[in-house]
């Protein structure tokens, strides 16, 4: 990939149209992140069908803007009313809400904003730096290695997400089974279509994603008892400007905490399945353990906010490392981006850099632009977000449900897609009730077609003899690691 391609991609990113959609995405992400129970993942799932009419770069940049804005937005209710807007902001509430109760809610939110943008920018720079070399390395991997890598990824994700690796593996198997619905890619034979010719092309990706992520959560929230959950917004103490502003010296005192959190979030984010919540709590624990005033954590120490927000935001850019280089999503938001790539005619993986290099560098430019927009929009809108979180659930969730139905209807061209969406929502609701991780199901479903193709090619290359794996040492090592990871995650279950 030459320098001219990179410069052309960056030029595409910094267009007025792209800038407008990035800013809009960031603003929407902050709003939905500030409403407990909505979150950027649900907003992305709802927004994907509406990006059909956009150019690929603008559509992906818009979705990434939503995700980045939601990373900070989740910290707002965590600080103001001790109710995290997103799960990864739960650790932010430990020091953010006590700081708000001291009369410094704006200062706490600014610490969260600055730390979030810093961590996010760091992980984006790592993504830009390492993704191209990793893609070149991934191009040297054949079908056998890709198949083994997917097996290893499924074993790790199934073990890290949820309470039971057995349930995680079952969820992955169900996701792969759902991906086989439709025409056999080798012979063109219809499978599991039950007389519905609309299923010849498989289950609609958008309908499944919106149903399992957005509609299921909306239904769960609508049936919950909401009385008594409202809380008063913390009152800002305006008598001292220092209660709402952050000086450079105050930010600089948190530099080591922010840097540590950014590194932790980037490393964990590059590993599929761990997620931003684990990164936030790990960074918080590390900051508390290493601080000389560790006992002050939990009482309103701004370093606690800086540690969690820098870590959970750094996960976002790192999640795209396995997505762009080998086509394996590291989180739900990354899995949703896969569906967005596919509906715009792109296949994530190493060939994306070779075939769509200009688009990739445009995406990198849009990510940096989204970080600046996140800082600017968040800085100007702190008072607005505090008002938004008071919106009643009786208005928010029915409106979101209408958007889901309209979006899926338009994207699938009829009511059949809406029916699939509702069935997916019911399946998601039941899976959560019985403890089966929905995340694993969705990732396996999105990777199902690639997995089946790699499996078929592997069987041909190995000629049906497992002993031929010895000629593929990388694949053999990955399969051994998959076996070790399953045994490792099963060990705690046996001890219980």
Average pLDDT score over residue span 365-369: 91
Question: Using one digit for the tens of pLDDT, what is the confidence trace for 45-89?
Answer: 888 888 888 888 899 999 999 989 888 888 887 887 676 667 677
Residue 400, pLDDT score: 75
Distance CA 147, CA 11 (A): 37
Q: Which of these, 72, 90, 92, lies nearest to 32 by C-alpha position?
A: 72
Residue 232, pLDDT score: 45
Q: Which long-range contacts (CB under 8 A, 24 or more apart) does 434-437 make?
A: 434/167, 435/162, 435/163, 435/164, 435/167, 436/162, 436/167, 436/168, 436/170, 436/171, 436/174, 437/158, 437/161, 437/162, 437/167, 437/168, 437/171
Average pLDDT score over residue span 148-161: 78
For residue 230, is it within any domain? no
For residue 57, is it within any domain? yes
For residue 96, is it within any domain? yes
* pTM greater than the 0.85 cutoff: no
- Label residue 26 by pLDDT band (50, 70, 90): very high
Looking at 118-132, 173-187, 234-248, which range is the least confident one? Answer: 234-248
Q: What's the domain count of the chain? A: 1
Average pLDDT score over residue span 246-272: 84
Average pLDDT score over residue span 186-206: 84
Taking 50 as the threshold, does the pLDDT of residue 227 lie above it?
A: no
Average pLDDT score over residue span 389-406: 73
Average pLDDT score over residue span 454-476: 88
Residue 493, pLDDT score: 54
Q: Which of these, 140, 404, 150, 124, lies nearest to 269 by C-alpha position?
A: 124
For residue 236, is it within any domain? no
Residue 234, pLDDT score: 47
Taking 80 as the threshold, does the pLDDT of residue 174 lie above it?
A: yes
**At 109, which helix (H) or strand (E)?**
helix 105-139
For residue 309, is it within any domain? yes
CA–centroid distance for 48 within its chain: 14
For residue 239, is it within any domain? no
Distance CA 290, CA 158 (A): 32
Q: How far is CA 120 from CA 60, 138, 306, 477, in A?
A: 17, 25, 12, 33
Could you list the residue range(s) of the whole structural domain that residue 41 is in?
3-225+244-490
Residue 231, pLDDT score: 43
Taking 60 as the threshold, does the pLDDT of residue 10 lie above it?
A: yes
Burial of residue 495 (CB within 10 Å: 0-12, 13-18, 19+) is exposed
Average pLDDT score over residue span 283-311: 85
For residue 237, is it within any domain? no
Residue 259, pLDDT score: 92
Question: Using one digit for the tens of pLDDT, what is the confidence trace for 93-140?
Answer: 888 888 888 878 888 888 999 999 999 999 899 888 887 777 666 667
Taking 80 as the threshold, does the pLDDT of residue 393 lie above it?
A: no
Residue 479, pLDDT score: 92
Q: Which of these, 74, 91, 79, 75, lies nearest to 37 by C-alpha position?
A: 74
For residue 231, is it within any domain? no
Residue 3, pLDDT score: 74
Strand partners, 182: 191
């Amino acid at each position: 990939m030459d320098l001219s391609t990179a410069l052309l991609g960056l030029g595409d990113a910094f267009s007025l149209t792209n800038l407008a959609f990035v800013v809009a995405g960031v603003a929407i992400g902050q709003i939905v992140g500030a409403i407990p129970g909505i979150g950027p993942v649900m907003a992305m799932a709802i927004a994907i069908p509406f990006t059909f009419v956009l150019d690929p770069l603008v559509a992906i940049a818009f979705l990434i803007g939503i995700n980045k804005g939601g990373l900070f937005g989740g910290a707002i209710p965590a600080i103001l009313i001790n109710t995290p807007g997103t799960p990864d902001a739960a650790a932010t509430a430990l020091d953010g809400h006590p700081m708000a109760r001291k009369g410094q809610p704006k200062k706490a939110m600014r610490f969260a904003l600055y730390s979030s943008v810093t961590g996010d920018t760091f992980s984006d720079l790592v993504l830009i730096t390492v993704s191209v070399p990793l893609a070149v390395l991934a191009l040297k991997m054949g079908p056998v290695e890709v198949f083994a890598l997917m097996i290893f990824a499924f074993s790790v994700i199934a073990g890290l997400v949820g309470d039971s690796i057995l349930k995680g593996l079952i969820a992955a198997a169900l996701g792969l089974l759902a991906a086989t619905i439709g025409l056999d890619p080798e012979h063109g034979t219809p499978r599991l279509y039950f007389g519905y010719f609309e299923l010849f092309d498989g289950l609609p990706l958008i309908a499944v994603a919106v149903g399992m992520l957005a509609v299921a959560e909306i239904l769960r929230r609508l049936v919950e008892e909401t009385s008594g959950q409202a809380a008063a917004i913390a009152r800002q103490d305006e008598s001292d400007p220092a209660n709402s502003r952050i000086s450079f010296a105050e930010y600089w005192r948190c530099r080591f905490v922010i840097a540590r959190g950014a590194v932790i979030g980037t490393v964990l984010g590059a590993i599929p399945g761990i997620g931003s919540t684990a990164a936030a709590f790990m960074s918080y624990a590390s900051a508390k353990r290493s601080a000389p005033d560790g006992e002050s954590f939990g009482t309103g120490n701004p370093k606690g906010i800086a540690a969690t927000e820098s870590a959970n935001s750094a996960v976002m850019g790192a999640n795209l490392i396995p997505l762009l280089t080998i086509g394996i999503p590291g989180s739900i938001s990354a899995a949703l981006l896969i569906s967005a790539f596919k509906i715009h005619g792109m296949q994530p993986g190493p060939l994306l850099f070779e075939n769509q290099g200009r688009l990739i560098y445009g995406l990198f430019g849009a990510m940096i632009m989204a970080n600046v927009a996140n800082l600017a929009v968040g800085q100007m809108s702190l008072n607005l977000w505090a008002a938004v979180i008071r919106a009643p659930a009786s208005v928010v969730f029915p409106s979101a449900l209408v958007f889901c139905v309209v979006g899926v209807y338009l994207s699938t061209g009829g009511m059949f897609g809406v029916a699939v969406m509702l069935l997916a929502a019911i399946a998601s609701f039941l899976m959560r009730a019985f403890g089966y991780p929905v995340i694993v199901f969705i990732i396996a479903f999105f990777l199902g077609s690639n997995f089946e193709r790699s499996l078929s090619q592997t069987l041909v290359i190995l000629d049906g003899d497992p002993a031929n794996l010895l000629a593929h040492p990388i694949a053999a090592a990955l399969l051994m690691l998959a076996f070790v990871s399953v045994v490792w995650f099963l060990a705690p279950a046996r001890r219980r």
